[in-house]
Amino acid sequence: TGAISSLQRQMEIQESKLRRIRSEKEMLQKQLREQEAQLQAVSDKFCSLTEEQKQEEMMVMMEEENRNLQQVVLEQEAQLAEQNKLISELQETIGQLRAEVVTTRLHLLEQKQAQKEIQSQAEALQHKELQTRVALERISTKFERYRSKIIQATFSVEGIHDPQGELTDEQLLEAMQKIFNERTEFQHMLRNKGSR
């Protein structure tokens, strides 16, 4: 009887230990589940944060590219305006020189006594006209080179169709403006998507 009682006490002690261990196990499992949930939440937040950072970096890159493209357009527009101004001035100079040549030739007919002197003036004017023409051709060539670069840069952008036939300056500027508008709209879409 004493041995049985001793064994029963030991068994009760062991059962009590088992219950305590099971309780501790359940508590540890609960804590583990809570920690896993917290870890998953942190992981989800980190993944979301990483995606937001990628989206932010993409928007920064696109804004920088858009600023660079706008700067190129402003520079090209300024160069176009300068070239147009120079061409107008040179054409006006040529018109004035031609008028002077005509006037000089009329004076040659009217003043035979000063024929050699007036002839020399006419030759000088013709030489000046030739120089002006050369300068005009050089500037026109440079202008066409700038224009070709602008066309090449504009129509190399993805989504822009190649031009059909020869382009006017207005059509070219419209094509470039279309690129800006599309990029700006895309950036707005990205911002709106990021905020949602």
Residue 53 pLDDT? 67
As a dihedral over the C-alpha atoms of residue 157, residue 162, residue 166, residue 172, rounded to 10 degrees, the angle is -30
Residue 77 pLDDT? 77
The answer to whether 162 and 155 have CB atoms below 8 angstroms apart is: yes
Write the pLDDT tens digit of every residue in 147-185. Answer: 888 877 777 766 666 667 777 888 888 888 888 898 898
Write the pLDDT tens digit of every residue in 106-151. Answer: 776 777 776 777 788 889 999 999 999 999 999 999 988 888 888 7
Where residue 61 falls among pLDDT bands split at 50, 70, 90?
confident
Instruction: Say whether pLDDT at 196 is over 60.
Output: no
Residue 134 pLDDT? 94
**Per the confidence metrics, is the pTM higher than 0.75?**
no
Write the pLDDT tens digit of every residue in 1-57. Answer: 666 677 777 778 888 888 788 888 888 888 888 888 888 877 777 677 666 666 777
Tokens 């004035």, residue located: 96
In three-state form (DSSP H/G/I as H, E/B as E, the rest C), the secondary structure along the chain is CHHHHHHHHHHHHHHHHHHHHHHHHHHHHHHHHHHHHHHHHHHHHHHHHHHHHHHHHHHHHHHHHHHHHHHHHHHHHHHHHHHHHHHHHHHHHHHHHHHHHHHHHHHHHHCHHHHHHHHHHHHHHHHHHHHHHHHHHHHHHHHHHHHHHHHHHHHCCCCCCCCCCCCCHHHHHHHHHHHHHHHHHHHHHHHHHHHC
Buried b / exposed e over 56-80, threshold 16 CB at 10 Å, is: eeeeeeeeeebeebeeebeebeeeb
Q: How far are the Cα atoms of 1, 12, 17, 20 from residue 9, in angstroms, in the given order?
A: 12, 5, 12, 16
Domain ranges of the chain: 7-121, 122-188
Write the pLDDT tens digit of every residue in 68-109. Answer: 778 877 787 777 777 777 777 777 777 777 777 667 767 767
